[in-house]
Amino acid sequence: MNKIPACIALATLCSCATVFKAKTTPVSITSNTPGATVTIDGRPAGVTPLTLELPNKADAMITVASGGKQETCRMVSNASVGWVVADVFLTSGLGLIIDWVTHAWNDVGPNACHVDV
C-alpha cells in the first residue's frame, strides 16, 4: 500500500486555511476621475472603477494615474489571526506549520483603494 498519498491527504486536511480559505481577495479600485489607468506592481490592470482579485500571498502596489498625476495604494498581506487560532486548536499545531509555509492564512488589505487623481 502506498502511504505517500495518504500522508499528503492527511497533511492537507490538517491545515484549516489551506483547505477552506480563498486564495485571493477582491479589491475595489476607484478614483475621482473614472477611466484612470490602473497598474498593479507595474503591470497594466485596467481602468477605474475596477474590482480585482489579488493573491493573498504577497503585498501589492496599486498605482492609479490620470491627467499627469498618479497616486498609489499599498495592499499588505498579513496573517489572519482567526485562521492561526483555528490551526492551533483544531489541528494540534500541524496546520499551523502547513498554513505558515503556504501562506494560506494571509489576507490582503485594505480591500479598497480610492485615490484623488
**How do residues 60-116 score in pLDDT, each as one tens digit?**
999 999 999 999 999 999 888 888 888 888 887 788 888 888 888 888 888 899 999
Assessment of whether the complete model's pTM goes beyond 0.95: no
Per the DSSP assignment, residues forming a β-bridge with 63 are: 39, 72
**How do residues 7-18 score in pLDDT, each as one tens digit?**
555 555 566 788
**Distance set, CA 35 to CA 50, 82, 87, 112 (Å):** 9, 37, 43, 17
C-alpha cell recorded at residue 73: 495604494
CA-wise closest residue to 105 among 17, 15, 24: 17
Domain ranges of the chain: 13-110
pLDDT of residue 7: 53
Domain 13-110 is found in CATH 2.60.40: yes
pLDDT of residue 6: 57
